[in-house]
Structure 1
Amino acid sequence: MKKIAVVTDSNSGITQEEAQKMGIHVLPMPFTIDGNEYFEGINLTQEEFYEKLKGDADIATSQPSPHAILKLWDELLKEYDEIVQIPMSSGLSGSCQTAAALAADYEDRVFVVNNHRISVTQRRSVDTALAMVKDGKSGQEIKDFLEETGKNSSIYITVATLKYLKKGGRLTPAVAAIGTMLRLKPVLTIQGEKLDSCAKARTMHQAKQLMIDHIREDIETRFGGVAAHKVHMDIAHTNNEVEALKFRDEVEAAFPGYQVGFVDPLSLSVSCHIGDGALALAITEITE
């Protein structure tokens, strides 16, 4: 049986400490903040990031450098036969395309998965990959399965402020001003390739209910009324753990028999576009 290494990036929400316990490898996502380079989970903590964000620092997201990727691969291939790499969705970053291009020189040894996921759903893909490695599947089989099932997930996000959507150009100044005046809270969705708007709420309570309604619709329509043991539900947040834990209780009350798994910080690559105080609810279909 081949020895296979599983690699992902810090957009999965998996910390360096967790990666060691899981037996995987996490590439830290780089950020440029006021002209200085930082790496998520290495020399940039969640707390430090939000302090800089609130201070209106100039923050730009980036992707792991080819040098960093190749260095990791070459080191791993001294011990492993194959590598399965699970980057964030290709529609949200160029890191997947970069890794796929580099993998062309590692034919039949490095398999880069275009999994269409991020945050807790990306984390679920890592879990699936690890289970498939344990079952003796090859790197190609793991890649094919994760790409085939990658879009069987959704994330719904509500933001606490429109400031960062406006700053990133996702809202015009006029729309942001009206939204702020009316205290609107957009509900955004990530299904595969994009971060899109799907609803608007007037209160956080209403926004949370809308996310629950969308998850219920996914269960009943997209996933054919699947039972609790056939889906994962997870929550993510931006510097908002207390409310995220309360939201977990609300979600479990809304879906008797279903349980919320992870309650994780949302990846900083998404956080910089939506700000702190956000809540997210995700669902991932379990496929075999």
Structure 2
Amino acid sequence: MAPVQIFTDSTNDLTPELLERHGIGVVPLYVTFGEESYRDGVDMYPELLYRKVETGGRLPKTAAPSPADFLNAFEPAVGEGKDIVYIGLSSALSSTVQNASLAASQLPEGRVRVVDSYNLSTGIGIQVLTAALAAEEGKSAAEIETLVTDIRTRVETAFIIDTLDYLYKGGRLSSLQNFVGSLLKIRPIVKVVDGSMILASKIRGRREKALDQLLQNVLAERDHLDNSILIVTHSMAYEEAQFVKHQLEAHTGARQVLLTETGCVISSHCGPGTVGVIYINK
């Protein structure tokens, strides 16, 4: 049985240390400001993205890696005798998975298995990490594909958004909605459902109230969640994310609560101050 290497794209939002520790390959998406194109996580990071948005007043566009990008990433591993399981950004949001599949079709049949995560950010990352741990246990590519296909529909991903500006700039709010929402201090909770982002609820008032609601939503499900791995993800909201992490450690019995930072894709949609919680239901 061939050894298995796990691949994903740059929207997975796991830390560089976790990616390196588990030998996870990453194919970057592209972030474009006008004529300038950058590789997400390689030469474009959230801090630089936010500075460019503040300066130019517009959000960047994002683009999937090309089939050639994927082929260039996959070929060396296959050449070393490895099988590949690739887990990518939801096909409802991007052509990333489609392009990975086109690249896989150029390699010997069965050597690259492409899985649509139906998710984004560490909603992908938690699946990638689960797959990497299974690979380290000696599971085959087929077994890992089956494992991820099973858990992907049980991944819960929710974010509290601190500012409406990025939703407005991204065309998801009208100027009136942005004005009224900002005036009333409305902070949305966004969830991922069937691979797409939806508005789950609106919290009016202080940021602490919104964070508490995010926490209570998770704690209400504590008897149903898989407590092996929980992830708290944030964009320039380290102290709040640490608070959420400590609360989850104290009240869920989770064996591991990871803290990660969002990459450019989720940052460009949600903006600074975003905090998210990701877990898998039993």
Structure-1-length-normalised TM-score: 0.88
% same residue: 25
Paired position in structure 2 for 1:244: 241
Paired position in structure 1 for 2:179: 177
Please state if 1:136 is matched with 2:138. yes
Shift of 1:267: 2.9
- 1:106-121 mapped onto 2 (5 Å cutoff): 106=107, 107-121=109-123
Paired position in structure 1 for 2:268: 272
CA displacement 1:47-87 (0-9 Å, x = unmatched): 21222233224511111121111111112211133111111
The residue type equivalent to 2:87 in the other structure is: I
The residue type equivalent to 2:140 in the other structure is: S
Deviates more, 1:142-151 or 1:112-121: 112-121
- 1:75-94 mapped onto 2 (5 Å cutoff): 75-94=76-95
- 1:1-288 mapped onto 2 (5 Å cutoff): 1-15=1-15, 18-55=18-55, 56-106=57-107, 107-202=109-204, 203-219=206-222, 225-226=223-224, 230-253=227-250, 255=251, 257-258=253-254, 261-285=257-281
Shift of 1:103: 2.0
The answer for unaligned runs of 5 or more in structure 1 is 220-224
Measured in 1, the distance between the counterparts of 2:252 and 2:100 equals 41
CA 1:252–1:19: 2 relative to 1, 3 Å? closer
Would the aligned equivalents of 2:233 and 2:259 in 1 still touch at CA under 8 Å? yes
For 1:151, what is the secondary structure of its paired residue? helix
Aligned residue pairs: how many? 279
Shift of 1:33: 1.7
CA displacement 1:105-158 (0-9 Å, x = unmatched): 332111001122322232221222122223332212211221121011112111
User: What is the aligned-residue RMSD (CA, Å)?
Assistant: 2.1
Structure-2-length-normalised TM-score: 0.90
